[in-house]
Amino acid sequence: MIKENVFHSDIERIYMSLGTDISRLDNKKFLITGGTGFFGIWLLSFLDFARKELNFEISVELISRHPEKFLSQYPEFAGERWISWNKSDIRNVEPKSSSFDYVIHGATTNAVETYIGTNPLEKFSVTYDGTKRILDKIKNQNVEKFLFLSSGSVYGETFSNPISEIELSAPLTNQLGASIGHAKRASEFLCLATMAENPEINVNIARCFSFVGPYLPTELHYAIGNFIYDASKRKPIVLKSTGESVRSYLYMSDAISWLLQLLFTDSKGEIFNVGSEESVTIKNLADIFSTLTGSEVLYESTDTLKKINTSAPSYYVPNTAKIRNLLGVEMNVGLIEAVKRSLDFHQS
């Protein structure tokens, strides 16, 4: 019951944050890629809320390589007629519908594939070639907004903090572990160049940083996910590094609200950071979990760690002044509350 209450109140929080803009979801047809992961379950759940609680007419075509995996994990979406599943590789997909109002494109290799070390060329191809395919398929449609979910990884290792959208740094080309960053950056150019040639395509780009909340994978390579898993099982919190890296975490109810407002805004051709400015070292994050749960913090020997070549930067915190000032969005859930709500969800 606690689990359902936490998530339902988060969905209602998104609704309240959108105000009258939520009416822009009514009578809309979505094309969503990358919609079966962490972001997908949140987005679909909110659209389902809008349908059931507000009687909105919403339809979604969702492209996925393995929809059966998602539906086995979230059977509540099985048989839902408002969702049309398109089982395809994003690189050769043929959309079933000939028209869409909103396109949210976030397809890339999934978190598990990153964890197990998928070939960097495959990661690049899925992200870049998938973006090219989707743009080719919708560029002649009168789409209200094409929202590309990019990544803060496009910045690489930075020496300014927090990181703004005009930051000139990027991953080095010999950093093969930064393939997602390379691909997202190239795909951003592809989106904006396509819009320049096809002005009817209204593109906005969200550079997404780090997030936390219900349904975050807890047994992969995300430090905060690992901490949630350890603490929810009443185990010691295992720190798998020196803990000096600096991160920030935007709670998912805020993240979905911000992304939807990027769909609604009249601005186009803009790049916005999406994330939290509330920075924390990984060590201090572990201490927060320890304080909240009473679990001890243990340091794992780096000799025993699984090497994941992601070229993760030591500092990964966005400057969000642009999106806050232009769209009026706010961060409503701070880090401590975000951790508490995530623990409540996973412990129940």
Q: How far is CA 174 from the centre of its chain?
A: 26
Q: What CATH number labels 2-212+250-277+317-333?
A: 3.40.50.720
pLDDT-derived band at 75 (thresholds 50, 70, 90) equals very high
For 49-63, 79-93, 289-303, which range has the lowest pLDDT when averaged over its residues? 289-303
Q: Are 61 and 36 in contact (CB under 8 A)?
A: no
| pLDDT confidence bin for 330, thresholds 50/70/90 | very high
pLDDT level of residue 141 (50, 70, 90 thresholds): confident
Give me Rg for the CA atoms of the chain: 19
pLDDT > 60? residue 305: no
β-bridge pairing 203-208 and 280-281: unpaired
User: For position 112, what pLDDT does the model report?
Assistant: 60
Q: What is the mean pLDDT of residues 123-149?
A: 95
Q: Please give the pLDDT value at position 347.
A: 83
Q: Is residue 117 predicted with pLDDT exceeding 70?
A: no
Predicted local distance difference test score (pLDDT) of residue 4: 77
Q: Is residue 162 pLDDT above 90, yes or no?
A: yes
pLDDT tier at 301 (50, 70, 90 boundaries)? low
Q: What percent of the chain has pLDDT over 90?
A: 81
Is the peptide bond between 162 and the residue preceding it cis, with omega within 30 degrees of 0?
Answer: yes
Rounded mean pLDDT of 158-173?
A: 90
Query: Is pLDDT at 221 greater than 80 in this prediction?
Result: no
- Residue 116 above 80 pLDDT? no
- The per-residue pLDDT for 321 is 98
Tell me the C-alpha distance between 113 and 309, whole Å.
Answer: 12
pLDDT at 161: 85
Question: Residue 316 burial by CB count (10 A; 0-12/13-18/19+): exposed, middle or buried?
Answer: buried
CA distance 115 to 218: 12
Residue count of the chain: 348
Residues 6+ apart with CB under 8 A from 246: 161, 279, 280, 281, 282, 314, 315, 316, 317
The per-residue pLDDT for 208 is 97
pLDDT category of residue 300 using cuts at 50, 70 and 90? confident
Cβ-based neighbour number of residue 198 at 10 Å: 14
Q: Among 112-116, 163-167, 176-180, 316-320, where is mean pLDDT lowest? A: 112-116
Alpha-carbon distances, residue 23 vs 20, 224, 236, 303 (angstroms): 6, 35, 46, 54
CA distance 90 to 239: 36
pLDDT confidence of residue 114: 62
pTM (predicted TM-score): 0.94
Terminal Cα distance for the chain, rounded: 8
Structure tokens at 198: 């096809």
pLDDT higher than threshold 70 for residue 9: yes
Model confidence at 306: pLDDT above 50? no
Say how far apart CA 206 and CA 11 lie, in whole Å: 21
What does the pLDDT read at residue 256?
Answer: 98
